[in-house]
Amino acid sequence: MSAVLRRRPAVAIAKYAALAGYLAFALFPLYWLIKIAITPDALIYTEGTQLLPSSVTFDNFAKVILQTDFMAYFGNSLYVSLGTAAVTTLVAAAAGYAFSRFDFAGKKLLIAVMLITQMFPLLMIIAPIYKIISQMGMLNSLTSLIVVYTAFNIPFATFLMQSFFDGIPKDLEEAAMMDGCSRFQALYKVVFPLTLPGLGATLGFVFTAAWSELLFALMLISKNDAMTFPVGLLTFVSKFSVDWGQMMAAGVLALVPSCLFFIFIQRYLVQGLTSGAVKG
């Protein structure tokens, strides 16, 4: 490919132009979010369409952190997302392993059921779930959020883990088992180290999904001290006369964990999908 580029500079220029275009498209809205967050309130409207604000302030961040419940929301979100990511990855790894290594009665049916769970509008089951959870007295509990999020993330995480396991040759564990390892030992000593990138990718994927979930959090949580950050962010819109600067500052802060997570895992995500991608 690079040989082609050396021969044809026009292609190289077009390629870098395309790269620049993608980069600008991806980052521009994020830049604007940050820009609004650091623009002083007085200038938000007058300098709305300028690319650079004439002065910069970090007041909004200070206010959000010190004067609002944002840090509590942030903590709740962190707890829920980490909990969901950990439980989902564990459950999905076990299920993905079963799909990857065994042929058993009902396998196709199970895969079809998992596919169907991706298919219907979530709104349809929010009312029944609300009813069930309120009857169990589990409203406003972060644990119930973790359980619900885990269930919804299992199907995709399972497919992801399955493709990671598919990428690890079966011979490796079989060899270990021949040498006297039990299946579990083979799993722990041979397969587990090899799936670490896969586990990382699944963790990150589920974390970002749970981090931004709004619908269930909105329905199941109404107490202020149990709110996750998207719900909390929504209270910025409704409770106060929309304070855009603060809201965007809160948004920027909320972006930090999911973006950091994602920057670390995206390579593994590609790697993991590569191994199992073209099968089936």
Partner 1 sequence: MIARATKTVVPRKPRARRSLYLQYLVEPFAYLSPAIVLIGTVILIPLIIGISYSFQSIELLRPFNSGWVGFENYLALWTDKKFWIALENTFFWTFWSVVLQFLLGLGLALLLNTRFWGKRLFQALVFLPWAVPTFLSALTWAWLFNPVIGPLPHWLASLGILSEPDNILGDPELAIWGPILANIWFGVPFFAITLLAALQSIPGELYEAAEIDGASGWQSFCKITLPFLAPMIAITVMLRTIWIANFADLIYVMTGGGPANSTQILSTYIFTTAFRKLDFGYASTIAVALLLILLVYSGIVLWLRKKLIKI
Within 22-61, the residues that bind partner 1 by CB under 8 A are 22-23, 25-27, 29-30, 32-33, 36, 44-45, 48-49, 51
DSSP 3-30: HHHHH-HHHHHHHHHHHHHHHHHHHHHH
Residue 43 near residue 262 (C-beta atoms within 8 A): no
Q: Which is nearer to partner 1, 153 or 226 (CB)?
A: 153
Q: Which stretch binds partner 1 (CB under 8 A): 59-67, 68-76, 191-199, 246-254?
A: 246-254
Residue 193 Cβ vs partner 1, minimum distance, rounded to whole Å: 19
Q: According to the binding rule CB under 8 A, does residue 277 interact with partner 1?
A: yes
| Residues in 214-243 that interact with partner 1 by CB under 8 A | 214-215, 230, 233-234
Name, in order, each residue with C-beta under 8 angstroms of 253's C-beta and a sequence gap of 6 or more: 61, 64, 65, 70, 74
| Residues in 128-157 that interact with partner 1 by CB under 8 A | 128-129, 131-132, 147-148, 150-152, 154-155
Residue 79 Cβ vs partner 1, minimum distance, rounded to whole Å: 17
Q: Which is nearer to partner 1, 47 or 69 (CB)?
A: 47
Q: Which is nearer to partner 1, 65 or 181 (CB)?
A: 181
Q: According to the binding rule CB under 8 A, does residue 10 interact with partner 1?
A: no
Q: Which of 106, 196, 198 is nearest to 160 (CA)?
A: 198
Choosing from 108, 124, 171, 193, the residue that interacts with partner 1 (CB under 8 A) is 124
Position of tokens 């909320």? 254
Q: Which is nearer to partner 1, 195 or 258 (CB)?
A: 258
Q: According to the binding rule CB under 8 A, does residue 81 interact with partner 1?
A: no
Residue 20 CA to residue 128 CA, distance in Å, equals: 47
- What size, in residues, is the chain? 280
CB-count exposure of residue 147 (10 Å: 0-12, 13-18, 19+): middle
Q: According to the binding rule CB under 8 A, does residue 212 interact with partner 1?
A: yes
Residue 245 Cβ vs partner 1, minimum distance, rounded to whole Å: 12
Residue 44 near residue 256 (C-beta atoms within 8 A): no
Residue 224 near residue 231 (C-beta atoms within 8 A): no
Choosing from 10, 52, 67, 102, the residue that interacts with partner 1 (CB under 8 A) is 102
Residue 64 near residue 253 (C-beta atoms within 8 A): yes
